[in-house]
């Protein structure tokens, strides 16, 4: 698996996340003929075919799982057990790497279903993967070697950025910060948009003011080396309009509000993971 661009990649499940990864792979130059998608839904298969008619489509996982270098499990968490158990009984390539993008499904559960020797990577992606700007957290079983990690990096780089964690427990925090994170920013943009409407702007202009401001701030933060506090202070002139807004937010306890929200998300992720182990 030294040349990732020549990997045969199979997807079990052809929903939004699978489609996002596939679009990213094709944009990066991966050959459509090296991709296979299994999904019982005709609608999902049609959506994949609309991306490229050179992608192999199938209704059954057996053939795809028996020959792909990389197997991506992109099914809903509630059906992952049945899908993985069936795969665990199949003959698959010895060096095959299996990647799960299902939220809350632990490596222990996946290994129990797929077999102790399976090379498994657990990924927590997020919604901006749909636009090629995703943030994914990854962790793996010890059976995933250097080439397997490189294959996983190659796959998730197609949707944005990715980072590895040796402690799987941190995946609950990844879920709270980046997995659920886009919703927090959408909420802030939604509030800004609503207030802009109150100020008299049209819906289109209110949306543009909100979304482009968020995009610009995120771009500056991502591309620069200054810490976020410094960037905030650069925009906040003493006694100015920004200072008035920041003071109102701080007085309302925005730091504690967000901290408590993130803790709640992390705790819920832990609870869901515990249910998965039951």
269 and 233 together in one domain: yes
In-domain check, residue 278? no
- 62 confidence band (pLDDT: 50, 70, 90): confident
Closest to 24 in 3D by CA, of 103, 136, 119: 136
Phi, psi of 197 (to 5 degrees): -65, -40
Average pLDDT over residues 147-153: 95
Structure tokens at 187: 């909420």
Residue 257 confidence (pLDDT): 97
212 in Cβ contact with 189 (< 8 Å): no
What 3-state DSSP class applies to 59? coil
Closest to 36 in 3D by CA, of 65, 1, 2, 4: 65
CA pair distance 63, 72, nearest whole angstrom = 14
Within a 13 Å sphere around the CA of 189, how many CA atoms are in the beta-carbon half? 20
The 10s digit of each residue's pLDDT in 107-118 is: 999 999 999 999
Boundary of a domain, candidates 148, 169, 190: 169
What 3-state DSSP class applies to 115? coil
In-domain check, residue 174? no
The 10s digit of each residue's pLDDT in 230-278 is: 999 999 999 999 999 999 999 999 999 999 999 999 999 888 777 765 5
pLDDT at 150 over 60: yes
Average pLDDT over residues 67-78: 93
CA pair distance 82, 211, nearest whole angstrom = 41
Domain count for the chain: 2
Distances (CA, A) of 5 to 31, 32, 97, 115, 191: 8, 11, 15, 27, 43
pLDDT at 1 over 70: no
Boundary of a domain, candidates 169, 191, 221: 169
Closest to 262 in 3D by CA, of 191, 174, 187: 174
CA pair distance 32, 11, nearest whole angstrom = 13
Boundary of a domain, candidates 142, 169, 196: 169
15 and 82 together in one domain: yes
Domain that holds residue 47: 4-169
The 10s digit of each residue's pLDDT in 11-24 is: 999 999 999 999 99
Average pLDDT over residues 130-143: 95
Give the dihedral sign, CA 219/225/228/229: negative
Mean pLDDT of the chain: 93
Residue 277 confidence (pLDDT): 59
Structure tokens at 215: 């995009």
51 and 152 together in one domain: yes
97 in Cβ contact with 264 (< 8 Å): no
Contacts of 17 (CB under 8 A, 6+ apart): 74, 101, 125, 129
39 and 141 together in one domain: yes
Q: What is the pTM of this model?
A: 0.87
């Amino acid at each position: 698996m030294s040349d990732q661009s020549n990997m045969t990649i199979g997807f079990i499940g052809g929903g939004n996340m699978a489609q996002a990864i596939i679009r990213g792979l094709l944009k990066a130059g991966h050959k459509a003929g090296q991709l296979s998608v299994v999904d019982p839904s005709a609608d999902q298969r049609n959506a994949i075919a609309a991306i490229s008619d050179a992608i192999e489509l199938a209704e059954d996982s057996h053939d795809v799982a028996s020959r792909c270098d990389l197997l991506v499990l992109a099914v809903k968490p509630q059906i992952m057990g049945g899908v993985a158990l069936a795969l665990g009984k199949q003959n698959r390539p010895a060096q095959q790497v299996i990647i799960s993008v299902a939220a809350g499904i632990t490596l222990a559960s996946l290994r129990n279903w797929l077999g102790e020797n399976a090379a498994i990577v657990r990924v927590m992606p997020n919604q901006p993967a749909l636009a090629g700007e995703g943030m994914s957290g990854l962790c793996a079983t010890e059976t995933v070697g250097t080439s397997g990690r490189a294959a996983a990096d190659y796959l998730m780089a197609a949707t944005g950025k990715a980072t590895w964690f040796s402690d799987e427990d941190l995946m609950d925090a990844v879920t709270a910060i980046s997995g659920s994170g886009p919703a927090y920013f959408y909420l802030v943009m939604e509030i800004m948009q609503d207030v802009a409407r109150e100020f008299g702007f049209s819906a289109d202009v209110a949306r543009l003011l909100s979304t482009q401001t968020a995009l610009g701030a995120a771009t500056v933060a991502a591309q620069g080396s200054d810490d976020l506090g410094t960037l905030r202070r650069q925009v906040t002139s003493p006694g100015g309009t920004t200072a008035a807004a920041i003071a109102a937010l701080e007085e309302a306890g925005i730091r504690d509000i967000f901290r408590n929200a993130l803790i709640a998300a992390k705790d819920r992720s832990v609870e869901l993971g515990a249910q998965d182990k039951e």
